[in-house]
Amino acid sequence: MNDHQKGADGKEIALEARAEKAARLFSPSAARNSHAIVAAWQDLMPSSATVLELGSGTGEHGVALTNAYDGLTWQPSDPDQASRHSISAWAAYTDHKRFAAPLALNACDPAWWSPLSSKDIIVSINMIHIAPFAAAQGLFEGASALLRSKGHLFLYGPFKRHGKTADSNLAFDQSLKSRDESWGVRDIDLELIPLAAQNGLKLQSTKEMPANNMCVVFEKD
Ligand SMILES: C[S@@+](CC[C@H](N)C(=O)[O-])C[C@H]1O[C@@H](n2cnc3c(N)ncnc32)[C@H](O)[C@@H]1O
Protein backbone atom coordinates (compact mmCIF):
# COMPACT_ATOMS: atom_id res chain seq x y z
CA MET A 1 0.00 0.00 0.00
CA ASN A 2 1.15 3.55 -0.63
CA ASP A 3 0.01 6.60 1.32
CA HIS A 4 -2.77 8.80 0.02
CA GLN A 5 -1.40 9.49 -3.43
CA LYS A 6 0.36 12.84 -3.81
CA GLY A 7 1.37 14.69 -6.99
CA ALA A 8 4.72 16.34 -7.66
CA ASP A 9 3.61 19.48 -5.78
CA GLY A 10 2.90 17.38 -2.67
CA LYS A 11 -0.89 17.86 -2.99
CA GLU A 12 -3.15 14.87 -2.61
CA ILE A 13 -4.57 13.75 -5.96
CA ALA A 14 -6.47 10.74 -4.68
CA LEU A 15 -7.95 10.44 -1.21
CA GLU A 16 -7.22 6.74 -0.77
CA ALA A 17 -4.40 4.25 -0.25
CA ARG A 18 -3.72 2.13 -3.33
CA ALA A 19 -2.21 -1.35 -3.62
CA GLU A 20 0.52 -1.91 -6.22
CA LYS A 21 1.45 -4.99 -8.28
CA ALA A 22 4.25 -4.86 -10.88
CA ALA A 23 3.74 -1.07 -11.21
CA ARG A 24 -0.02 -1.43 -11.70
CA LEU A 25 -1.85 0.56 -9.03
CA PHE A 26 -5.17 -0.76 -7.69
CA SER A 27 -7.65 1.85 -6.51
CA PRO A 28 -10.14 0.76 -3.84
CA SER A 29 -12.74 3.18 -5.18
CA ALA A 30 -12.25 1.89 -8.77
CA ALA A 31 -12.74 -1.65 -7.44
CA ARG A 32 -16.04 -0.49 -5.91
CA ASN A 33 -17.40 1.51 -8.87
CA SER A 34 -15.94 -0.05 -12.06
CA HIS A 35 -18.60 -2.76 -12.38
CA ALA A 36 -21.44 -0.22 -12.06
CA ILE A 37 -19.78 2.16 -14.55
CA VAL A 38 -19.31 -0.66 -17.08
CA ALA A 39 -23.01 -1.59 -16.69
CA ALA A 40 -24.17 2.05 -16.98
CA TRP A 41 -22.06 2.52 -20.12
CA GLN A 42 -24.27 0.00 -21.93
CA ASP A 43 -27.36 2.16 -21.21
CA LEU A 44 -25.81 5.54 -21.88
CA MET A 45 -22.97 5.32 -24.37
CA PRO A 46 -22.09 3.83 -27.76
CA SER A 47 -20.12 0.58 -27.51
CA SER A 48 -17.92 1.50 -30.51
CA ALA A 49 -16.03 4.78 -30.19
CA THR A 50 -12.70 6.54 -29.88
CA VAL A 51 -12.33 7.75 -26.30
CA LEU A 52 -10.04 10.25 -24.57
CA GLU A 53 -9.96 10.14 -20.76
CA LEU A 54 -8.79 13.03 -18.57
CA GLY A 55 -7.59 12.23 -15.03
CA SER A 56 -7.32 8.47 -15.57
CA GLY A 57 -5.65 7.85 -12.19
CA THR A 58 -4.56 4.21 -11.95
CA GLY A 59 -6.00 3.52 -15.45
CA GLU A 60 -8.37 0.80 -14.27
CA HIS A 61 -11.63 2.29 -15.61
CA GLY A 62 -10.33 2.43 -19.18
CA VAL A 63 -9.06 -1.14 -18.85
CA ALA A 64 -12.42 -2.36 -17.50
CA LEU A 65 -14.39 -0.57 -20.22
CA THR A 66 -12.16 -1.66 -23.12
CA ASN A 67 -12.25 -5.24 -21.76
CA ALA A 68 -16.06 -5.09 -21.68
CA TYR A 69 -16.65 -3.35 -25.05
CA ASP A 70 -14.34 -4.42 -27.85
CA GLY A 71 -15.40 -1.49 -30.06
CA LEU A 72 -13.79 1.03 -27.70
CA THR A 73 -10.33 2.48 -28.39
CA TRP A 74 -9.08 4.33 -25.32
CA GLN A 75 -6.52 7.11 -24.86
CA PRO A 76 -5.89 7.58 -21.11
CA SER A 77 -4.12 10.62 -19.62
CA ASP A 78 -3.14 12.13 -16.31
CA PRO A 79 -0.96 15.10 -15.29
CA ASP A 80 0.52 13.03 -12.47
CA GLN A 81 3.64 11.02 -13.30
CA ALA A 82 3.01 8.22 -10.78
CA SER A 83 -0.47 7.75 -12.24
CA ARG A 84 0.96 7.60 -15.77
CA HIS A 85 3.44 4.97 -14.58
CA SER A 86 0.52 2.82 -13.42
CA ILE A 87 -1.46 3.47 -16.63
CA SER A 88 1.57 2.42 -18.73
CA ALA A 89 1.85 -0.78 -16.71
CA TRP A 90 -1.87 -1.51 -17.22
CA ALA A 91 -1.48 -0.80 -20.97
CA ALA A 92 1.40 -3.31 -21.18
CA TYR A 93 -0.53 -5.88 -19.06
CA THR A 94 -3.78 -5.64 -21.04
CA ASP A 95 -4.14 -8.29 -23.78
CA HIS A 96 -5.75 -6.12 -26.43
CA LYS A 97 -4.12 -3.05 -27.99
CA ARG A 98 -7.08 -0.68 -27.63
CA PHE A 99 -5.85 0.87 -24.36
CA ALA A 100 -2.96 3.19 -25.24
CA ALA A 101 0.02 4.44 -23.24
CA PRO A 102 -0.93 7.60 -21.31
CA LEU A 103 -0.59 11.24 -22.29
CA ALA A 104 0.39 13.97 -19.80
CA LEU A 105 -2.71 16.16 -20.11
CA ASN A 106 -3.79 18.80 -17.60
CA ALA A 107 -7.26 20.25 -18.16
CA CYS A 108 -6.09 23.54 -16.59
CA ASP A 109 -3.43 24.08 -19.26
CA PRO A 110 -4.38 26.52 -22.03
CA ALA A 111 -5.37 24.73 -25.26
CA TRP A 112 -4.32 21.34 -23.82
CA TRP A 113 -6.28 19.74 -26.66
CA SER A 114 -4.42 21.40 -29.53
CA PRO A 115 -2.06 18.48 -30.46
CA LEU A 116 -4.87 15.88 -30.36
CA SER A 117 -7.15 14.46 -33.05
CA SER A 118 -10.94 14.51 -32.77
CA LYS A 119 -12.73 11.93 -30.61
CA ASP A 120 -16.20 10.40 -30.26
CA ILE A 121 -16.20 10.51 -26.44
CA ILE A 122 -14.33 12.33 -23.68
CA VAL A 123 -14.47 10.72 -20.23
CA SER A 124 -13.57 12.10 -16.82
CA ILE A 125 -14.24 10.07 -13.69
CA ASN A 126 -13.92 11.57 -10.21
CA MET A 127 -11.77 14.44 -11.45
CA ILE A 128 -13.59 17.79 -11.57
CA HIS A 129 -14.39 17.92 -7.83
CA ILE A 130 -10.78 17.24 -6.84
CA ALA A 131 -9.32 19.99 -9.02
CA PRO A 132 -9.92 23.74 -9.34
CA PHE A 133 -13.04 24.78 -11.28
CA ALA A 134 -10.63 25.81 -14.05
CA ALA A 135 -10.22 22.06 -14.72
CA ALA A 136 -13.96 21.73 -15.40
CA GLN A 137 -13.77 24.80 -17.63
CA GLY A 138 -10.79 23.36 -19.53
CA LEU A 139 -12.51 19.99 -19.81
CA PHE A 140 -15.60 21.49 -21.47
CA GLU A 141 -13.48 23.73 -23.73
CA GLY A 142 -11.46 20.69 -24.79
CA ALA A 143 -14.67 18.71 -25.37
CA SER A 144 -15.92 21.50 -27.60
CA ALA A 145 -12.66 21.49 -29.58
CA LEU A 146 -12.15 17.71 -29.85
CA LEU A 147 -15.57 16.07 -29.99
CA ARG A 148 -17.16 15.28 -33.31
CA SER A 149 -20.72 16.54 -33.83
CA LYS A 150 -23.04 14.41 -31.60
CA GLY A 151 -20.00 13.24 -29.60
CA HIS A 152 -20.31 12.83 -25.83
CA LEU A 153 -18.65 14.08 -22.65
CA PHE A 154 -19.13 11.43 -19.92
CA LEU A 155 -18.62 12.42 -16.29
CA TYR A 156 -18.86 10.28 -13.17
CA GLY A 157 -18.70 11.35 -9.55
CA PRO A 158 -20.68 13.15 -6.84
CA PHE A 159 -22.72 16.14 -8.04
CA LYS A 160 -25.20 18.72 -6.75
CA ARG A 161 -28.53 19.52 -8.42
CA HIS A 162 -29.73 23.10 -7.88
CA GLY A 163 -27.51 23.31 -4.78
CA LYS A 164 -28.80 20.07 -3.29
CA THR A 165 -27.15 16.69 -2.85
CA ALA A 166 -27.04 13.78 -0.38
CA ASP A 167 -25.74 14.52 3.12
CA SER A 168 -22.71 12.29 2.46
CA ASN A 169 -21.84 14.44 -0.60
CA LEU A 170 -22.27 17.66 1.42
CA ALA A 171 -19.84 16.29 4.02
CA PHE A 172 -17.45 15.27 1.22
CA ASP A 173 -17.74 18.77 -0.28
CA GLN A 174 -16.75 20.30 3.06
CA SER A 175 -13.84 17.90 3.43
CA LEU A 176 -12.61 18.68 -0.12
CA LYS A 177 -12.81 22.43 0.55
CA SER A 178 -10.91 22.03 3.82
CA ARG A 179 -8.06 20.40 1.86
CA ASP A 180 -8.15 22.96 -0.96
CA GLU A 181 -10.71 25.75 -1.18
CA SER A 182 -10.72 25.56 -5.00
CA TRP A 183 -11.99 21.93 -4.88
CA GLY A 184 -15.61 20.97 -4.36
CA VAL A 185 -18.59 18.91 -5.53
CA ARG A 186 -19.83 20.60 -8.72
CA ASP A 187 -23.44 21.57 -9.47
CA ILE A 188 -24.94 20.16 -12.69
CA ASP A 189 -27.60 22.87 -13.02
CA LEU A 190 -25.83 25.94 -11.66
CA GLU A 191 -22.30 25.29 -12.96
CA LEU A 192 -22.04 22.52 -15.58
CA ILE A 193 -25.08 23.17 -17.80
CA PRO A 194 -24.07 26.86 -18.23
CA LEU A 195 -20.48 25.77 -18.94
CA ALA A 196 -21.76 23.26 -21.48
CA ALA A 197 -23.89 25.92 -23.19
CA GLN A 198 -20.87 28.24 -23.48
CA ASN A 199 -19.06 25.42 -25.28
CA GLY A 200 -21.76 24.13 -27.62
CA LEU A 201 -22.78 21.10 -25.53
CA LYS A 202 -26.06 20.20 -23.85
CA LEU A 203 -27.05 17.83 -21.06
CA GLN A 204 -28.18 14.54 -22.58
CA SER A 205 -28.71 12.21 -19.62
CA THR A 206 -28.01 11.56 -15.96
CA LYS A 207 -28.04 8.26 -14.12
CA GLU A 208 -28.07 7.73 -10.36
CA MET A 209 -25.26 5.42 -9.30
CA PRO A 210 -24.39 3.64 -6.03
CA ALA A 211 -23.05 5.65 -3.08
CA ASN A 212 -24.75 8.89 -4.20
CA ASN A 213 -22.68 9.20 -7.36
CA MET A 214 -23.98 9.92 -10.85
CA CYS A 215 -23.10 9.44 -14.49
CA VAL A 216 -23.66 12.70 -16.37
CA VAL A 217 -23.55 12.78 -20.18
CA PHE A 218 -23.35 15.91 -22.33
CA GLU A 219 -23.72 15.90 -26.13
CA LYS A 220 -22.01 18.24 -28.55
CA ASP A 221 -24.30 20.05 -30.99
C1 LIG B 1 -9.56 11.16 -7.47
S2 LIG B 1 -8.44 10.81 -8.76
C3 LIG B 1 -9.51 9.85 -9.84
C4 LIG B 1 -8.74 8.91 -10.73
C5 LIG B 1 -9.60 7.97 -11.57
N6 LIG B 1 -10.34 8.68 -12.58
C7 LIG B 1 -10.54 7.19 -10.69
O8 LIG B 1 -11.72 7.53 -10.58
O9 LIG B 1 -10.05 6.22 -10.09
C10 LIG B 1 -8.33 12.35 -9.65
C11 LIG B 1 -7.37 12.30 -10.81
O12 LIG B 1 -7.50 13.51 -11.55
C13 LIG B 1 -6.21 13.95 -11.91
N14 LIG B 1 -6.27 15.40 -12.08
C15 LIG B 1 -6.23 16.36 -11.12
N16 LIG B 1 -6.25 17.59 -11.66
C17 LIG B 1 -6.34 17.40 -13.00
C18 LIG B 1 -6.39 18.29 -14.11
N19 LIG B 1 -6.36 19.61 -13.93
N20 LIG B 1 -6.46 17.76 -15.36
C21 LIG B 1 -6.50 16.43 -15.54
N22 LIG B 1 -6.44 15.54 -14.52
C23 LIG B 1 -6.36 16.01 -13.27
C24 LIG B 1 -5.31 13.51 -10.76
O25 LIG B 1 -3.94 13.44 -11.13
C26 LIG B 1 -5.92 12.18 -10.39
O27 LIG B 1 -5.31 11.10 -11.08
Tell me the HSE value of 200 on the side-chain side, using a 13 A CA sphere: 13
Q: CA–CA separation, 41 vs 43, rounded Å?
A: 5
Domain annotation for the chain: domains and CATH numbers: 27-220 (3.40.50.150)
Q: How far is the CA of 127 from the centre of ligand 1 (A)?
A: 5
**pLDDT tens per residue, range 39-70:** 999 999 999 999 999 999 999 999 999 999 99
**What pLDDT, on a 0 to 100 scale, did the predictor assign at position 2?**
39
Helices (H), the chain: 28-44, 60-68, 81-93, 133-146, 167-179, 193-198
Query: Which atom of ligand 1 is least distant from the CA of 124?
Result: 6
- Entry pTM: 0.94
40 C-beta closer than 6 A to ligand 1 = no
